Structure 1
């Protein structure tokens, strides 16, 4: 499958009164055409900073891209001028942010907010932009779109506002759609509708999606591949099946163990002990070692490289070294993996029957 984006050894820092915060410390991944890549991890792991850098939305100062490449359509975006980026943002790379009320202008009618990008990037007349706006609002499931063009954000429900934000992001048929926790502020029912909408739109437009979330349950339903981030680095990356049913990094085990499932209502959730490290002074060796009950002596001294598990699956843990002791995921994590596998096969059977 053709690669639409390549990120190589990306490093991003923020200069603060306390010193340099190393938010992203050498992230490498690619994105294929028509693919959904989920980036998961705790708050502060560097997910949002990484993806905002793709559209050069890191405020400078205090933020800066120290090193690395962001290759999009053969061009390194880290070296692109602001003028060039204005032709890419919204038109080729669009972002759906977490809270629709901060994404929408409360003083502007919804129709004008959707039309703005169409007129700016596609240079089409206002009448044509209005027609396309109605089609977009219809596409994202807004009832009576012609009447609602003249309404303001406060006249829409939370789920409808997020649908409008999706419509704005899709207005110029972007090649990459970055969804930064787009359903966190919504209730479970609306969340499911928005996720279904995004999957449906992707099929119609063949766009690539980068989906940022801390909710592994969401990932299982929307992603093709998963990148697990911790302390500004990707510690495991693979297909959904690789990461959910054959996880190799103890941090991934911790995330899976802390995820509630319908099959394990009587079982306590497993909390990952401790807290993420202070990125003003990242620890020597493996950043997860202080929280990792399976840490080896080498973890305190040397950062693990990315070990190859399979052609699609990589993980940065010394437990994959040929001389490391054999360690398996905790029993509770195995039960969750088994439960997720049975749930997935049941939903697949339902899909085939319908």
Structure 2
């Protein structure tokens, strides 16, 4: 889905976020840029600690400040730069225009408050509903997300729900005010595979029915293949590759992207292929490397990779990569991933 200014809902440019600790400054997000179109699902992928969640939480000003701080960049949403808004102004955006589904619903839901009341809060605050109207809407939302007996469940507490039902309740809270953008941070991590499939189907249906834009934060490439239209690959606080789903899966150009794809089991072949892990660990973001952050773990690294960060190379209108292998003087390396078009 190509960039069309008239359809861009969220536009993040050169976002830089740091955390000040007793040991020094952690540069968690280092110049991240991406955009989300209206009605589009964008996946942000990468290993744990690469900056995915901090990037998403920073767009909603949900990181604790201090120790966190947004050093630079802009987050344009519907013509407003969210980084310039006060806490009070952001309160009118969160829940009504942008909502977030967090990783662990048990720690995100208030254990002392009935689930129905937690859904009603946003409706009363943002849509000025009466308590009776909000309760009716809460029952309706529980029904929409597939929770049985919603008129009874609305009066229950989070501990009376199963893991899958708690995640559905979180989605009901997030969608109650019909937000334009839904940020889903590892929404299926703690769920078994059958519940995962149900949650993904639910999110796809909501995207289709309400034209909701979705940012999906995950390390699960199977979830990405099922949900996303475009993919942003992050590593060590930077976007190192971005493109459409097909461009990343079938024509990825960064060695880190290749590593992610080669470490995923395949179901479309009978061959007993071993998964290939990415050796090594991500760099220390107290003192990030001056060159490509992946150079120390890359099988194709050249001397310049350790000395200088490569610029963006655009392969198509949507697909760009930051890698020295794109330079005209670099060796020609064939894509080593096993994922081929048509499953062959």
Please confirm whether the aligned pair reaches a TM-score higher than 0.5, indicating the same fold: yes
Q: Write the distance in 1 (CA, Å) between the matches of 2:321 and 2:44.
A: 14
Q: Deviations over 1:305-324 (max 9, x none)?
A: 11001111000001111221
Q: Determine the structure 2 residue equivalent to 1:308.
A: 314
Q: 2:171 is matched with which residue: 166, 175, 178?
A: 166
Q: Write the distance in 2 (CA, Å) between the matches of 1:281 and 1:212.
A: 25
Q: Determine the structure 1 residue equivalent to 2:146.
A: 141
How far off is 1:105 after superposition?
1.0
Q: 2:10 is matched with which residue: 5, 18, 25?
A: 5
Q: In the alignment, is residue 342 of structure 1 matched against residue 343 of structure 2?
A: yes
**Equivalences for 1:271-350 in 2 at 5 Å?**
271-330=277-336, 333=337, 335=338, 337-338=339-340, 341-342=342-343
Q: In the alignment, is residue 107 of structure 1 matched against residue 112 of structure 2?
A: yes
Secondary structure, counterpart of 1:135 in structure 2: helix
Q: Determine the structure 1 residue equivalent to 2:43.
A: 38
Q: Determine the structure 2 residue equivalent to 1:250.
A: 255
Q: Deviations over 1:180-226 (max 9, x none)?
A: 00100000110010000000011111010000000111100000000
Q: Which runs of 5+ in 1 are unaligned?
A: 344-354
Secondary structure, counterpart of 2:35 in structure 1: strand
How far off is 1:246 after superposition?
0.3
Secondary structure, counterpart of 1:160 in structure 2: helix
Q: Deviations over 1:3-50 (max 9, x none)?
A: 001111000000011100000000011110000000000000000000
Structure 1 runs (4+) deviating above 2 angstroms are 340-343
Q: 1:19 is matched with which residue: 24, 42, 48?
A: 24
Q: In the alignment, is residue 268 of structure 1 matched against residue 280 of structure 2?
A: no
Q: Write the distance in 2 (CA, Å) between the matches of 1:13 and 1:265.
A: 45
Q: In the alignment, is residue 86 of structure 1 matched against residue 91 of structure 2?
A: yes
Q: Determine the structure 2 residue equivalent to 1:350.
A: none
TM-score computed with the length of structure 2 as normaliser: 0.96
Q: Write the distance in 2 (CA, Å) between the matches of 1:306 and 1:58.
A: 28
How far off is 1:342 after superposition?
2.9
Counterpart contact for 1:245–1:341, Cα < 8 Å: no
Secondary structure, counterpart of 1:39 in structure 2: strand
Secondary structure, counterpart of 2:34 in structure 1: strand
Aligned length: 338
Secondary structure, counterpart of 1:304 in structure 2: coil
Q: Which runs of 5+ in 2 are unaligned?
A: none
Secondary structure, counterpart of 1:185 in structure 2: coil
Secondary structure, counterpart of 1:69 in structure 2: strand
Q: Write the distance in 2 (CA, Å) between the matches of 1:264 and 1:317.
A: 33
TM-score computed with the length of structure 1 as normaliser: 0.94
How far off is 1:341 after superposition?
3.6
**Structure number with higher helix proportion:** 1
Q: Determine the structure 1 residue equivalent to 2:70.
A: 65
